[in-house]
Amino acid sequence: MQGFGKFSSKKAGLTPGTMVYVGDKKPEKPRITIIDYSQDTFTEKIVENIEDCFGYKDTGTVTWINVDGLHDLKLIEKLGRKFDVHQLILEDIVDTGQRPKIEDAETYLFIILRMIYFDDDENEIKSEQISLILNGTCVISFQETVGDIFDIIRDRIRTGAGKVRKMGADYLAYSLVDAIVDNYFSIIEKTGEKIEDMEEGLLNNPTFENLKTIHELKRGIIQLRRSIWPLREVVNSLEKGESPLIQKTTRVYLRDVYDHTIQVMDTVESFRDTVSGLLDVYLSSMSNRMNEVMKVLTVISTIFMPLTFITGLYGMNFNTEASPLNMPELNWKYGYVFMWSVTLIITVSMVAYFKRKKWF
Amino acid sequence: MQGFGKFSSKKAGLTPGTMVYVGDKKPEKPRITIIDYSQDTFTEKIVENIEDCFGYKDTGTVTWINVDGLHDLKLIEKLGRKFDVHQLILEDIVDTGQRPKIEDAETYLFIILRMIYFDDDENEIKSEQISLILNGTCVISFQETVGDIFDIIRDRIRTGAGKVRKMGADYLAYSLVDAIVDNYFSIIEKTGEKIEDMEEGLLNNPTFENLKTIHELKRGIIQLRRSIWPLREVVNSLEKGESPLIQKTTRVYLRDVYDHTIQVMDTVESFRDTVSGLLDVYLSSMSNRMNEVMKVLTVISTIFMPLTFITGLYGMNFNTEASPLNMPELNWKYGYVFMWSVTLIITVSMVAYFKRKKWF
Amino acid sequence: MQGFGKFSSKKAGLTPGTMVYVGDKKPEKPRITIIDYSQDTFTEKIVENIEDCFGYKDTGTVTWINVDGLHDLKLIEKLGRKFDVHQLILEDIVDTGQRPKIEDAETYLFIILRMIYFDDDENEIKSEQISLILNGTCVISFQETVGDIFDIIRDRIRTGAGKVRKMGADYLAYSLVDAIVDNYFSIIEKTGEKIEDMEEGLLNNPTFENLKTIHELKRGIIQLRRSIWPLREVVNSLEKGESPLIQKTTRVYLRDVYDHTIQVMDTVESFRDTVSGLLDVYLSSMSNRMNEVMKVLTVISTIFMPLTFITGLYGMNFNTEASPLNMPELNWKYGYVFMWSVTLIITVSMVAYFKRKKWF
Amino acid sequence: MQGFGKFSSKKAGLTPGTMVYVGDKKPEKPRITIIDYSQDTFTEKIVENIEDCFGYKDTGTVTWINVDGLHDLKLIEKLGRKFDVHQLILEDIVDTGQRPKIEDAETYLFIILRMIYFDDDENEIKSEQISLILNGTCVISFQETVGDIFDIIRDRIRTGAGKVRKMGADYLAYSLVDAIVDNYFSIIEKTGEKIEDMEEGLLNNPTFENLKTIHELKRGIIQLRRSIWPLREVVNSLEKGESPLIQKTTRVYLRDVYDHTIQVMDTVESFRDTVSGLLDVYLSSMSNRMNEVMKVLTVISTIFMPLTFITGLYGMNFNTEASPLNMPELNWKYGYVFMWSVTLIITVSMVAYFKRKKWF
Amino acid sequence: MQGFGKFSSKKAGLTPGTMVYVGDKKPEKPRITIIDYSQDTFTEKIVENIEDCFGYKDTGTVTWINVDGLHDLKLIEKLGRKFDVHQLILEDIVDTGQRPKIEDAETYLFIILRMIYFDDDENEIKSEQISLILNGTCVISFQETVGDIFDIIRDRIRTGAGKVRKMGADYLAYSLVDAIVDNYFSIIEKTGEKIEDMEEGLLNNPTFENLKTIHELKRGIIQLRRSIWPLREVVNSLEKGESPLIQKTTRVYLRDVYDHTIQVMDTVESFRDTVSGLLDVYLSSMSNRMNEVMKVLTVISTIFMPLTFITGLYGMNFNTEASPLNMPELNWKYGYVFMWSVTLIITVSMVAYFKRKKWF
């Protein structure tokens, strides 16, 4: 599975409409599942050959074909020819570095979305392309790998929970989009927690590790923004669009999904402001700490330099016998005591001075 | 009560329209108050069962049902069914992390607002979700906890002060929105005072505490902006919207509320600029202070290093007897005096040099 | 007179339309002046009671009622009732923290502007609210204090200079707006001079005072922007608006005022960029200066540390008699000369090194 | 000639439409040149009195009146009255701090542009106001001083080069605008060279002078942006506007000028980004250099402090005779050699340590 | 070939429509290639004289004339006259510093694009202007130098691969635009890799070289943005424009190109954010490193300064015989041991203190 916005030169120089799978995960064989249902009927099976799906095309019942794995280009081409899908759209399905978008091809709608997830191994936010084709009674969904994001929808269809069995293919498409958008909330939640954890540490004891975390968070937020902004447009087009494939009753639900994307976007924007504020805090703490270090150095130097001068002074070898002017202190009875007194006076007054200046 | 934009995974995988209370405060039992009035009549009571409200539905008088506490989902569902409220809207009412929004469901308007307040314990700006449903003669309001924000409206209705008793349910809804917007002014005022306090301290004696305060202010302002921008849209839609539920006479008042939200927004934006300016001032002060520390260190070192060299010089043990070239100063009559003269000359000229360079 | 955007809690919990004077300056008694004129007639007087104005209302001549001082709410209410002004607008007139705005109430236009001035005592840009009501033949203006900003208009009316006596109330309103906008130019000029003064000082000898001035300038510019952006909208609405109260001939003049506000805005925006550039210069100078200080310290330390080592070396007390290997230099004939030679060589080569590195 | 956006108080309190020349350059007498031409005829002369132009007004041939010098208000007023120019526009012509703008007065178009040039004396980008009035057959142009920017147009008219002699007054106006816009390219070119020169120096050897240059470049770019943005609007209005004074054939050429302004704008914007990037580079270099200085200081201190300690140690005067425990090293045969060995070991290991840490 | 947005004064003062080649690369002679094809026919040749192309003009088959090299102005003028191209457009073709743009001249479309490539010699992103003229059956393309970017299109036409032979001149124009846009992906990929390489190095071991690389990346990104933003507009105009020269079937393909430009733009924007984040990381690392250096210095100074004081102390020459108060330690039996004990205690406690403060 290829990162969003990573480009490969695999496709250079090919005629438009040439399908090239640019991802890197190749499961043994794509898994094709079919769910066909109406309010009263329900069929679910995993098929070996894509041709086995074709019988469900114009039955009047809602058919959901889900393809996990995009490397079998023949399979996807057959499916596309059966369902009259434009060659350029088939190209987009397998070119997995696409931005979320929606295309209204009159007889069907084509939707690209990005499912977002947190890769614990690489400690990074990653995304996978999910494509949907919706025509009157069918929804065809394409995923890069076998995933569990649509399992809750499958369960609802199986058990007849909620409204999904009572409504058409457009409601099914809405449910899939909704499942993907809901998934964003968990990333948002995780990111929010990370920010808070880091913030606390940062204010108490900033380290260079914090900077790395800030940098990672920033990158994650850039990633999130890049997925969410076009997602918002897609959902908005679905809701506001004029396609007769989306029923009015379903649009109310799409409005709800739209509100969710707005909420996600809004939170991501505020994360962005917060993280950029944290960088300022980090830099300020660093500069503050440097200040502290400098003060210690200065205090130490300022106290000991005069003292060292004094000890150096009385370590001089002027010939006291040559002249009584030469270092008479050395022969005083209280010379050493006198020297210590001077030393102490200097030390104490220095310390007092720095105390008053609030240097420590 | 859940923070705005904090997400919980409580809701993952549920069918759309499933109500889940995501907040954390569960009062003993929701408090339901009914106020029913016309220009001449007035009834107010606290009811135990939600069914007791239903009689007021189509009486021609204005009815205000206020529900404090959102954890009793059954209660809210009953109310929703009675007033023909869409399931998705009921879901929004109890999902208390919503962004302010307005929805025109033709027979009624649904409004989500956020009441903002300052939590002294956590020293943070917090917000609580308030939902309003307005149909021809009823206003139903939902609050997360028992609050006092609407008390002034209740008083006006009771005493017949102002126009509220003379006008319809739309004016009541306006009054509630107005009360919430007015509440923003007090947070704005408090934030403004904090900024000014801090600014003064910052210019005279910046500390690391200032940085923390700046950071908190920034976060507060991010919070405020997130609440106010959508609030502005809500109020604008109310005023400009085409819903026949809002009378023309009420729109004049909504225009006034709109002006208030603009004023709040405008002030928050200028707070933002000011606080970001304060960060610059903080950083500059820090760098200025470091400069001062460095100067002290440099002055001290520059004065004492040559002196220490001199004392070291005359502390050397060259054999003066081996050669008259070896440290003859030690045997001079005025050797020590000479040494002190050199020392003083160096010190004085260094001090003069730094004075001229304005280092202290 | 209350600062723009400072909120007071005086108004919390009052019914909409309740007039509250939120300012703090209460002159003995509001001053009411009436100027009534046509091309041929001219009357000017100061009246004691507001009722004395009412006779001028429907005379066909242009009437200008100016009220200086807003604390006498009764007076303003009487005036409002006489001229059919909406209660919410009366509230706005006395609530002196308003943003510039215009409201078209069909029979009259209501305009709020902010007169800007420089308060020398507090060294700050301040603003005062000026409200205008324009109906067919009357202009009513409200000022917070007795001011001289409209004196030039009065002179023109008295002497019949310009076109004002030949044209209607809309031209008078234009003249008042023009006088207020012209006033911005003087603040802009003053701010421009301050920036230039500071810039010069900053490039030659930056001090911490510069930072404070930059901060004050920034705040002043924030203030200016907040006043000018809505002002522009107000003037634009006046010019482009569809109110029949503004004649086509007057719109040409309003276009001129609009150009002025654009020019002011444009200059304020460039001030903003310039001041933010000055902050960069300040910070860079500071860092540059720190560099200089550090270099001095390093040069001094690097020169004297080896010297001090050498003097320390020959100050050691190894027993030269115990072994000829023990510090034979001490007994050399040219030992002291040798030591000085080494010292000088080190010093000279250090100085040469730093010279080459352009450290001083 | 007054800087763009510098305001003078000369105009305060004057009736609208009062002409005041706010510039500071007063040539002996304005120079008036007339060029009158058609495809076949050509007349060019310098006239003493403005009245001498009036004969050319309605001759059917294209007439270009150019006035250099704006301080003779009488002259401009006479010209304005003859050509029916609104008083406010005459005011704008002589008020030389205007922003570029276009006004469609139905019978004529009024255009203000700013001619930009580099003042080598003050090392600053400056601008001069040029006003154009275009009616059916005449173009009147006003310049602040005698300039050579229009000489190429004059040459083309004289020699009949290009299309100018074949086309109407609108093409002449286009040619003048084009000459002014072309002039921007030379400033852009010069600024581009400055940026490149500076960039090279900055990356190799940043000095405080670089900072000043960056600051000057920034100011120049602010100036340029302020002139170009409104210029773009002016040219766009000319091209897209509905004035019948501009023929369709000329609009194609105006489209070309528009492309040029876009190109200038685009380049100025990229200059802005580049210069702001250079500031970052400057600051980073400074901080890098400070780092280098600090390292030198630290290396020197770290090497010599232990050495100085050692020499101090053996400079102590403990009585070796009082006890064999007191500094026996002093009496060792290889004491001095031992001491030097320790010294060298310390030095070498320190140097090795810093080498490994890549400090030098 | 001239850099985009570098201006030359070669063109100053010329009549509009004068063609001037501003580039600097002059191949021996421009190379003219003609490809003429329909679904069944195919002709390809390199011609010596431009007149040899003219026969292909109105044959009904699709004709593609490609001119490599723009310095032969006569040639281009002849071509322009034959194909009725406006003089201003011919000027644009040879003025190679143009911004991407599209012009609809009714009978033909004129498109300027920039082909972007990485110049390994100068380590910089560079661009070359490519102009296209599309009328009913012909596409004329102009390149500054002989390039290989269109070779893949030539191959497809020769071999009849893809749809190009089946469709009209508009599809050919689309193919050329598509080839240019595809080329951006390789630059994007290369830039992306550079950013990642640098990021890794930066987080582990930041050097001044990193800063230079960041600066170069920033400049490259500025260049990319300047090319891509107008490119997007061009492609959008092609797709959405109303020109009858573009068939509906081709618009679907243009939509695909548009998606690609959006994707490129989106990636460039995220590069911009990332690189600006890297600068922050660099600066923070620098400041962090300075902190480390300062700590070393402070630790060393703080440990050795007291020790040096002690050794200085016992190096003083107070006369122990003059008084028993004078430095009795010198004559103690365990004097030296005592002195070493004090020294060790100080050192150990200092080290412990700094360990606790986590300074090393």
Which pLDDT tens digit goes with each residue over B162-204?
888 999 999 999 999 999 999 899 899 999 999 998 888 888 7
> E189 and A296: CB-CB below 8 Å?
no
In a domain, E4, yes or no: no
Give me the pLDDT at residue D2, please: 37
Of E189, E203, E253, nearest to A16 by CB-CB distance is E253
Domain boundary (B284, B308, B339) is at B284
* Same domain for B324 and B181: no
Element (H, E) at B347: helix B335-356
Looking at the complex, does the CB of residue A293 fall below 8 Å from at least one CB of chain B? no
Q: What pLDDT was estimated at residue E2?
A: 37
A303 & A224 share domain:
no
| Touching partners of C (3+ C-beta pairs < 8 Å) | B, D
Neighbours of E350 (CB within 10 A): 18
E141 belongs to a structural domain: yes
Task: Give yes or no: residues D322 and D338 share one domain.
Answer: yes
Looking at B28-98, which runs of residues are DSSP E strands? 31-37, 42-47, 62-68
Spatial CA neighbour of C228 closest among C174, C181, C177, C275 = C181
Q: How far is C28 from chain D (nearest CA, A)?
A: 29
Which chain E positions have a beta carbon within 8 Å of D357's beta carbon? none
DSSP for E223-260 reads HHHHHHHHHHHHHHHHHH---TTS-HHHHHHHHHHHHH
Assess E297–A contact: CB distance below 8 Å, yes or no. Answer: yes
Nearest to C284 among D211, D311, D320 (CB): D211
Q: Is residue C108 helix, strand or coil?
A: coil
The dihedral through the CA atoms of A339, A342, A346, A347 has a sign that is positive
Q: Give E53→chain D minimum CA distance, Å.
A: 29
- DSSP string for E200-220: HHHHH---HHHHHHHHHHHHH
Mean pLDDT (chain E, rounded): 87
Q: Which of B255, B284, B313 is the last residue of a domain?
A: B284
Token pair belonging to D182: 């072309």
A309 CB neighbours in chain B (<8 A) are 304, 307-308, 311
Helical segments of C125-247, H only: 151-159, 169-204, 208-240
Q: Is A2 domain-assigned?
A: no
Regions of chain D with pLDDT less than 70: 1-13, 24-28
| DSSP H/E element including B73 | helix B73-82
Both E93 and E147 in one domain: the answer is yes
Specify the pLDDT at position B323.
82
How many other β-carbons are positioned within 10 Å of the β-carbon of residue B5?
21
Residue B108 forms part of a structural domain: yes
A179 with A221, same domain: the answer is yes
* Identity of the residue in B286, B311, B330 whose CB atom sits nearest the CB atom of A288: B286
Nearest in space to E293 (alpha carbons), one of C306, A211, D357, D346 = D357
Q: Contact at 8 Å (CB) between C268 and C228?
A: yes
For B127-159, b where at least 16 C-beta lie within 10 A, e where not — what string?
bbbbbbbbbebbbbbbbbeeeebbebbeebbee
Instruction: Tell whether B187 and B260 lie within a shared domain.
Output: yes
What confidence tens digit (pLDDT) does each residue in B30-78 have? 899 999 999 989 999 998 888 888 888 878 899 999 999 888 888 999 9
Locus of tokens 């202009």: C139
- The rounded distance, in Å, linking the Cα atoms of E67 and E138 is 13
Task: Work out the pLDDT band at E62, boundaries 50, 70, 90.
Answer: very high
Residue A2 has what pLDDT?
37
Three-point CA angle C242, C243, C246, nearest 5°: 110
Could you tell me if D162 lies within 8 Å of chain E, comparing CB atoms? Answer: yes
- The 10s digit of each residue's pLDDT in C121-147 is 877 888 899 999 998 899 999 998 887
Instruction: Give the single-character DSSP code of D123.
Output: T
Whats the size of chain E, residue-wise?
360
Residue E331 at interface with chain A, using a CB cutoff of 8 Å? no
Taking Cα atoms as reference points, which of D214, D219, D220 lies closest to residue D278? Answer: D214
CB-based contacts of E27, cutoff 8 Å, min separation 6? E68, E69, E71, E145, E146
Domain membership flag for residue B3: no
Chain B residues near residue C359 by CB distance under 8 angstroms:
none
Note whether A313 contacts B: Cβ–Cβ < 8 A: yes
Residue from the list A304, A317, A339 with its beta carbon closest to the beta carbon of E306: A304
Is residue C16 within 8 angstroms of chain D, CB to CB? Answer: no
Task: Say if residue B315 is in the same domain as residue B268.
Answer: no
Lookup: tokens for D51: 């009245």
- Cβ of D7 within 8 Å of Cβ of C280? The answer is no
Percent of the residues in chain E that have a pLDDT greater than 90, as a whole number: 44
> What local confidence, expressed as pLDDT, does residue B42 receive?
92
Distance CA A98, CA C122 (A): 59
Say whether residue B294 is in contact with chain C using an 8 A CB cutoff.
yes
Question: Residues in chain A with pLDDT < 50?
Answer: 1-3
| Binary contact (C314, B316; C-beta < 8 A) | yes
Which residues of B fall within a CB distance of 8 Å from C212? 203
Please check whether residue E146 touches D, CB under 8 A: no
Range with lowest mean pLDDT among C17-21, C174-178, E184-188: C17-21
Of A284, A314, A332, the one marking the end of a domain is A284
> Which pLDDT does position E3 carry in this prediction?
47
Going by pLDDT thresholds of 50, 70 and 90, the confidence category of residue C211 is confident
C269 to chain B, minimum CA–CA distance in Å? 14
Angle at D334 between CA D329 and CA D339, to 5 degrees: 65
Cα distances (angstroms) measured from residue A309 to each of A313, B343, E211: 6, 11, 44
Interface partners of chain B (CB pairs < 8 Å, 3 or more) are: A, C
Among C173, C89, C169, which Cα is nearest to C136's? C169
B13, B88, B320 member nearest A252 (Cβ):
B88
CB distance E164–A283 less than 8 Å?
Answer: no
Condensed to tens digits (0 to 9), the pLDDT of residues B263-317 reads 999 999 999 999 999 988 888 888 888 888 888 899 999 999 999 999 999 998 8
Contact status of A316 with chain B (Cβ, < 8 Å)? yes
Please tell me the predicted confidence (pLDDT) of residue B208. 82
Exposed e or buried b per residue across A15-29, where buried means at least 16 C-beta atoms within 10 angstroms of its C-beta: bbeebebbbeeeeee
Beta-carbon separation of E311 and D306 below 8 A: no
Q: Is B345 within 8 Å of chain A by CB?
A: no
Note whether D263 contacts E99, CB cutoff 8 Å. Answer: yes
User: If we measure between CA atoms, which residue out of B10, B27, B8, B29 comes closest to residue B18?
Assistant: B10
pLDDT at C26: 62
Between chain C and chain D, the number of residue pairs with CB atoms below 8 A apart is 164
User: Looking at residue B28, what DSSP letter applies?
Assistant: S
Domain range spanning residue A20?
9-284
User: Degrees (nearest 5) of the Cα angle E320, E325, E328?
Assistant: 60
Write the residue in C152, C284, C302 that is nearest to D283 by C-beta: C284
Residues A142, A145, A149, A150, CA torsion sign? positive
CB contact set of D321 (below 8 Å; sequence gap of 6+): none
Q: Is residue B9 less than 8 Å (CB to CB) from chain A?
A: yes
User: How many inter-chain contacts (A to E, CB under 8 Å) are there?
Assistant: 165
The torsion defined by the Cα of C264, C267, C273 and C276, in degrees rounded to 10, comes to -70
What is the C-alpha separation between B115 and B127, in angstroms, rounded? 5
Verify that C247 and C352 share a domain, yes or no.
Answer: no
Q: Which two tokens stand for residue B63?
A: 């009815």
Q: Does the beta carbon of D9 lie under 8 angstroms from any beta carbon of chain E? A: no
Over residues C289-301, the mean pLDDT reads 88
Q: Does residue E280 share a domain with residue E205?
A: yes
Instruction: Report the predicted TM-score, pTM, of the whole model to 2 decimal places.
Output: 0.83
Q: What is the CA radius of gyration of chain D?
A: 36
Report which of E74, E101, E76 is spatially closest to residue E65, judged by C-alpha positions: E76
Chain C interface test: which of D2, D300, D326, D329 (most C C-beta within 10 Å): D300
Please tell me whether residues B275 and B306 are part of one structural domain.
Answer: no
Chain-chain contact of B332 with A322 (C-beta, under 8 angstroms): yes
Number of H helices and E strands in chain E, helices first, is 7, 7
D2 belongs to a structural domain: no
Instruction: Using a CB–CB cutoff of 8 Å, tell me whether D148 touches chain E.
Output: no
Across the interface, of A294, A316, A333, the residue whose CB is closest to E322 is A333
Note whether C199 and C131 are same-domain residues. yes
Q: Which residue has the tokens 């275009």?
A: D134
Q: What is the reported pLDDT for E13? A: 65
Q: Are A228 and A265 in contact (CB under 8 A)?
A: yes
Sequence length of chain D is 360
Q: Is D163 touching E (CB cutoff 8 A)?
A: yes
| Shortest CA gap A15–chain B (Å) | 42
Neighbours of E6 (CB within 10 A): 15
**DSSP letters for C1-32:** -PPTT---GGGTTPPTT------S---SS-EE
Contact with chain A for residue E330, Cβ under 8 A: no
Nearest to D268 by CA among D189, D329, D202, D343: D189
For residue B9, pLDDT over 60 is answered with no
**Rounded to an integer, what is the distance from CA B160 to the centroid of its chain?**
35
User: Do B323 and C336 make contact, defined as CB atoms within 8 angstroms?
Assistant: yes
Asked if C330 is an interface residue toward chain D (Cβ–Cβ < 8 A), one would say no
The span from the first CA to the last CA of chain D, in angstroms, equals: 56
pLDDT tens digits for range C160-170: 888 889 999 99
Interface of E with A in 188-217 (CB under 8 A): 188-189, 192, 203
Please tell me the predicted confidence (pLDDT) of residue D38. 92
Q: Which of B156, E169, B174, B256 is nearest to C92 (CA)?
A: B256
Residue D1, in any domain of the structure: no
Q: Do residues A21 and A94 make contact, with C-beta atoms less than 8 angstroms apart?
A: yes
E72 vs chain A: nearest CA distance in angstroms?
Answer: 31
Q: Which chains touch A (3 or more CB pairs under 8 A)?
A: B, E
Domain CATH code at residue E309: 1.20.58.340
pLDDT score, position C1:
35
d(CA E316, CA A338): 13
Distance from CA of A179 to the nearest CA of B (A): 8
Give chain B positions within 8 Å (CB) of C15.
156, 161-164
Sign of CA dihedral D63, D68, D70, D75: negative
D174 and D136 part of one domain: yes
Any idea what the CATH number is for the domain that residue B201 is in?
3.30.460.20
Chain A touched by E252 (CB under 8 Å): yes
**E263–A327: do the CB atoms touch at under 8 Å?**
no
* Residue E293 contacts A where some CB pair is shorter than 8 Å: no
Q: What is the ipTM of this complex?
A: 0.79
- How many structural domains are present in chain A? 2
CA atoms within 13 A on the CB side of D359: 24
Partner residue facing A290 (CB), from E185, E291, E319: E291
D4 falls within a domain: no
Single-letter amino acid code for the residue at A212: K
Residues in chain C with CB shorter than 8 Å from the CB of B163 are: 15-17
Question: Among D199, D265, D319, D327, which would you mutate to test the E interface (most chain E Cβ atoms within 10 Å of its Cβ)?
Answer: D319
State how far the Cα of E357 lies from the Cα of A175, in Å rounded to an integer: 56
